[in-house]
Structure 1
Amino acid sequence: MEWYIVVLVIVAPLLLLMVTGLPVAFAFLVVNLVGGYMLMGGMSGVEQLVLNTVDSLASFTLVPIALFMIMGEAMFQSRIAIDLMDTLDKWIGKLRGRLAFMAVGGGVMFSTLTGNSMGSIALLGSTLVPEMEKRGYKKPMSLGPILGSAGLAIMIPPSSLAVVLGVVSELSIGRILIGIIVPGLLMAVLYAVYILVRCTLQPDLAPSFDVPPVPMKDKLHATAVHILPLTIVVFSVVGVIFLGLATPSEAAATGAFATLALAAIKRRLSWKVFSTSIFNSANISVMVLLIVSGATAFTQILAYTGATYGMVDAITSLDASPSIIVLAMIGAVIFLGMFMGPLPIMLITLPIFVPIVIQFGFDPIWFAAMYLVAIETGSTSPPLGAALFVMKAVAPKGTSMNDIYKAAMPFIICDLVAILILFFFPALVTAPVAYMMR
């Protein structure tokens, strides 16, 4: 059977089931069972598929997903994240567009602590947007910065999606986590520059208002109490990986422990906070692992039937430069993000895209960084980007989806600029990875 027929037989039903509203994990389950029976020799093929999937879920490399989720939930439930925003507020002062800059700064800081973009949108959207509108901020400058900056959780460690990417594509998770740091910061800088320029050209978007002066003593005290201790949490995840002291799984464990210890030191680790953090993170982790298991089996069917190799050969033989093909793949990810969630996109496309990138001789970590930016871009892209609907849920009454779409567009453009910069300057990704301690 030709590879394109195999792809059509198993991919088309998968997409159709997702469009009908069936949960992603169950869509994969149905397609895998039917596909395994039809294409892998009946029940013996299905049994082998199940055994291989169980083995893949027992992998130690999946541990960081649950532990990163615990970190994020503990930060939110113990209100350490709120303290972070209050301290940032003290430092920004009377800068025009200060609340928009707070959204970007808060997005970066939350990203280094939680790795949960939807949680960041929910928190920043529910706390900052009402205050912004109260101060006369127009929707492009109240909704947009939060949509853009909260998505940085995908790009700055700890990032659960980076872990999934590493598992599905069989790349080094540690190298991916280090490689995405500079791209994430680059995106934050682009957002800040856009806000500064737009607020200068159109002051009515973010009216200035009086802010009570905060003595330097209070700023330093708030920094020492609420921000400096968080550097220990950041080091316990990123630092130990960079220095070669721990694997990503071990770093996730030290990060979760450091987060819970910090909450305990602040006397906020009550039984309710702890149990809620564990319960919520377990719910999300189980959902992610179910989807990963389905995608693993899906990948095995593609490999068994030879569809993966057929697609790689067909694409690599196209009369187009490898660079153009790589950009086309990134564009396809953004397009899919307009209609699907990040996880299904990753699990469907990575088994196809990564072998092609390697075949072309490109650094797969460089491609992974651009891929994650594209995933973030897709999640904020109309009409069905997941982040847009989270924002709609927490935005003030009277906010329409059209308002959210318009607010997101400038930050989508910033993301596209970031992708092009990474494409032409791959050292932004590869250089930090090269300095990692082995």
Structure 2
Amino acid sequence: MISDPLLLSIVMFGIMFLFLLSGLWIGFSLFAAAISGMLLYKFNLPPTISIWSKIGDLIANSVWNSLDSWSLTALPLFILMGEILYRTAISTKLLNGLLPWLTKVPGKLLHINVFACSLFAAVSGSSAATTATVGQITLHELTKRGYDKRLALGSLAGAGTLGFLIPPSLIMIIYGVLSDTSIGKLFIGGILPGLLLAGMYSTYIIIVTLIKPNVVPKDDEKYSFKDKLMQSKEILPVIFLIFIVLGGIYLGFTTPTEAAAIGVIGSYLLAILFKNLTWENFKTSLLNAVKTTCMISFIIMGAAFLSQVVGFVGIARALSEYIASLNLSPYVLIFVVGLMYIFLGMILDGISMVVMTLPIVLPIVTMAGFDPLWFGIFLVFMVELAQITPPVGFSLFVIQGISGEDISTILRATFPFFMIMILMVILITMFPQIVEYLPNHMIR
């Protein structure tokens, strides 16, 4: 039996990694690691209560709480919308219409992942929904056209995390409530770093394509301005659909869930208009949406149970208290806190990371002289990194479910974008004005 929470976290991490390498389903691996942690930890339970009954209570509680959310219903609807757009070849029309405008830009249609994720992140506020929806529309189409699959996977994984940074963001709302920081200022503070990060992703794609031209298909066709306008006719209905979905949310007419339902209906109407809807692709889009939703939901349940176990045995608190006891200088402190969150990102979901550690970490950080507003954006970046950090990088698993690629391939594809995000964290630490400029000048 293990009584030290930090030692237990290492053991649980090892068990989870073994299960994942064995090919076990991701959800099962998360549940298995959490149950192993409960069985190995030295509890002082009354004789009348068995450890298995405690495990059962935690599973029931975490599974219910993680999925009992009305806002979560937007996820399967957006996934279905993406499936319809892909299965009925509407996504092909979208990319055909955009190609003439991007043909002179190094990387061409690879920038679609970054642009679409930035746009969708401003609607969903969820990295899972952003990654799943955009991935369904773009990933298959890009690889079919001859674009480098690794770069397509990596750009999707990196840009998909923008769901937490570009407002509205669930993590920012939770942080604002817990830290008594203005949520409006947090939202505005995330805009500039989010756009800058998206720009860095596109810059990386441009650099890679200039060094390795073979990552994009050769296209010697030249387009006049008239050709571009003619090609754009194909995408006008799709842009109109996007405008309705996004505009309804921004203007306050619809909730994200209602907008997702409108998006599904609009997608089917477009499929009928373009005469692409058949019984076969209608059935396939529904079945694939159900499969993807079930896969994501199972991972959510496993991650929620693992997070609850981590909190129950005191791993996050023990790690935070250990860092507090080191009495480090400000920048060394923020470096160690960043490492702690990257480690916690391997075994916790983002919301659990924030809720469990903030009561201990925030007073230490503010006493070291860091602005709570700045630290909120820093924390969002840490949560984003957790989305693409193995073995519990949620976005990685979503992409695996969409693409069918093995996790090692996805990890290699994602690593450059992971490093770009690390660079962005260094930039906002060295130049906090990137975060603070807009909130200080737009809100008095």
Asked whether the 8 Å contact 1:10–1:35 carries over to 2, the reply is yes
Aligned to 1:420: 426
Decide whether aligned partners of structure 1 residues 365 and 212 sit closer, same or farther in structure 2, where only a CA change above 3 A counts.
Answer: same
Q: 1:222 to 1:146 in 2, by over 3 A?
A: same
| Structure 1, gaps ≥5 residues long | 130-141, 380-384, 395-400
Distance 1:333 1:306, change over 3 A: closer
* 1:292 has 2:277 as partner: no
CA distance in 2, matches of 1:425, 1:250: 40
In the other structure, the counterpart of 1:222 is 231
| C-alpha distance in 2 between matches for 1:358 and 1:253 | 39
Structure 2: distance between partners of 1:22 and 1:207: 34
Change in CA separation of 1:431 and 1:23 when aligned onto 2, cut-off 3 Å: farther
AA aligned to 2:115 is V
The one-letter code of the counterpart of 1:109 is A
What value does the CA root-mean-square deviation take over the aligned residues? 5.1
2:126 alignment counterpart: none
**Given the alignment of the two structures, is residue 272 of structure 1 paired with residue 294 of structure 2, yes or no?**
no
Identity %: 23
Aligned residue in 2 for 1:51 = 60
Q: Which amino acid aligns with 2:109?
A: M
Residues 186-225 of structure 1: pairs in structure 2 closer than 5 A: 186-194=196-204, 211-225=220-234
Report how far residue 102 of structure 1 moved. Answer: 2.5
Q: Which of 122, 141, 150 matches 1:123?
A: 141
The aligned residue for residue 13 of structure 1 is 15
- 1:368-383 equivalent positions in 2, closer than 5 A: 369-371=380-382, 373-375=384-386, 378=389
Report the count of equivalent residues.
403
User: By how many angstroms is 1:204 displaced?
Assistant: 7.2
Q: TM-score, normalised by structure 2?
A: 0.67
Aligned match for 2:327, one of 319, 324, 329: 319
Evaluate the alpha carbon distance shift between residue 49 and residue 167 of structure 1 in structure 2; reply closer, same or farther with a 3 A threshold.
Answer: farther
- Separation in 1 of the partners of 2:190 and 2:175? 16
Q: Aligned to 1:72, which of 57, 82, 86?
A: 82
Cα shift at 1:212: 3.7
Please state whether the residue corresponding to 1:21 is helix, strand or coil. Answer: coil
Report the counterpart of residue 124 of structure 2 in structure 1.
none
Q: Structure 1 residues 54 and 315, CA, compared in 2 at 3 Å: closer, same or farther?
A: same
Which deviates further from its counterpart, 275-284 or 174-183?
174-183
Question: C-alpha separation between the residues in 2 aligned to 1:212 and 1:146?
Answer: 23
Distance 2:354 2:428 in 1: 19
Q: CA deviation at 1:330?
A: 4.9
Q: Match of 2:369?
A: none
Unpaired stretches in structure 2, ≥5 consecutive residues: 121-129, 367-371, 391-395
Tell me, yes or no, if structure 1 residue 301 matches structure 2 residue 309: yes
> Which range moved further: 221-230 or 323-332?
323-332
Say if 2:171 and 2:380, in contact at 8 Å, map to a contact too: no
CA change 1:387–1:222 in 2 (3 A) is same
Deviation string, structure 1 residues 249-297 (Cα, Å, up to 9, x no partner): 4444444444444434434343333322221121122122222222222
**Per-residue Cα deviation, 1:325-345 (whole angstroms, up to 9, x for no partner):** 5545655777899xx8xx977
Shift of 1:52: 1.0
